[in-house]
Amino acid sequence: MPPSKSTLNFLRKLGPGLVTGASDDDPSGIATYSQVGAQFGYGMLWTMLFTYPLMSVFQEICARIGRVAGCGIAANVRRQYPHFLYATVALATAANIFNLGADIEAMGAAAQLLLPGPGGMYVVLLGAISIVMQVFLPYSRYSNYLKWLTLSLFAYVITAFFVRISWAEALRHTVQPQIAFNRSYFVALIAVLGTTISPYLFFWQASQEVEEVRTNHGEKALKRSPRQAPYQLDRIRTDTYVGMAFSNLVAFFIILVSAATLHAHGHVDIGTAAEAANTP
């Protein structure tokens, strides 16, 4: 049975927000969620409900900036606050370099779990593939690949139905936070908030909206074509809120599965996502 017209219209609205939300569940994010699930069990599931509205609002603002102005966050900072430009870009660049390094290293470690050979080789290979795809693939094709790749993250959701989970306890911890006032708990909490509401996502979604304007025939920055505003702002809100919900849903299930498997069997000290996957 073919999808209905309303379903197709809904799917067409998904793009930059969905991809940005999925990118938040990157290898370093997966490692963080696995660590807190292993260390605290179900105790931090509540953070996914807490961060969802914060993420959604911030990301919608950034997407609107890109669509209205026709340029990204850095370009808008240069126009409005030129004295802060270099500091802003320097901080964002440093954060992105460390984040990308952690992600590619984690990807290499994951590849090493499945394939023979040194992890460093996979790090170099995966980094090169990422650069080549971004430089040589047209944005429209590359964004479609990213959009379909988001489906792979449902593996974390599906996994939850193959392990033994105390759903009543998980629900209780989700809606009734039990905060432990100690150093390790607050360090983990800051790590979750930092990896969930991440600065590079602000720049990413705004830039994707700019690319959508440039590549889609007939679309213009809203400051130049206000008539497009009702549809585009509605699309941005739907896309963003669905994308952030998807992001937090996946993160919720990563914590849930880690709690039900690693924490339940006494494996509370997990350093990386690959280590979590390789723990017997």
What's the CA gap between 277 and 110, in Å, rounded? 9
- Is residue 198 classed as helix, strand or coil in its secondary structure? coil
Please report, as a single letter, which amino acid is at residue 27.
P
Question: How many residues are recorded in the chain?
Answer: 280
Which H helix or E strand runs over 73? helix 73-80
Task: Let me know the angle formed at the C-alpha of 57 by 182 and 152, rounded to the nearest 5 degrees.
Answer: 80
Record the pTM: 0.86
Q: pLDDT-derived band of residue 204, with 50, 70 and 90 as boundaries?
A: confident
| Under 8 Å between Cβ of 17 and 205 | yes
| pLDDT tens sequence across 236-271 | 999 999 999 999 999 999 999 999 988 887 877 776
| pLDDT tens sequence across 87-100 | 888 888 887 888 78
| pLDDT tens sequence across 113-167 | 778 877 788 888 888 888 888 888 887 788 788 888 888 888 889 988 888 898 9
What is the overall mean pLDDT for the chain?
A: 85
Closest CA to 276 of 113, 42, 100, 102: 113
Close Cβ partners of 37 (under 8 Å, ≥ 6 residues apart) = 44, 254, 255, 256, 257, 258, 259, 262, 263
What's the CA gap between 192 and 34, in Å, rounded? 10
* DSSP character at residue 4: P
What's the CA gap between 229 and 15, in Å, rounded? 17
Q: pLDDT-derived band of residue 278, with 50, 70 and 90 as boundaries?
A: low
Taking the CA atoms of the chain, what radius of gyration do you get in angstroms? 20
CB-facing half-sphere around the CA of 202: CA atoms within 13 A: 20
Close Cβ partners of 153 (under 8 Å, ≥ 6 residues apart) = 22, 25, 246, 250
Closest CA to 140 of 59, 19, 23, 239: 19
Please indicate whether residue 6 or residue 163 has the higher confidence score (pLDDT): 163
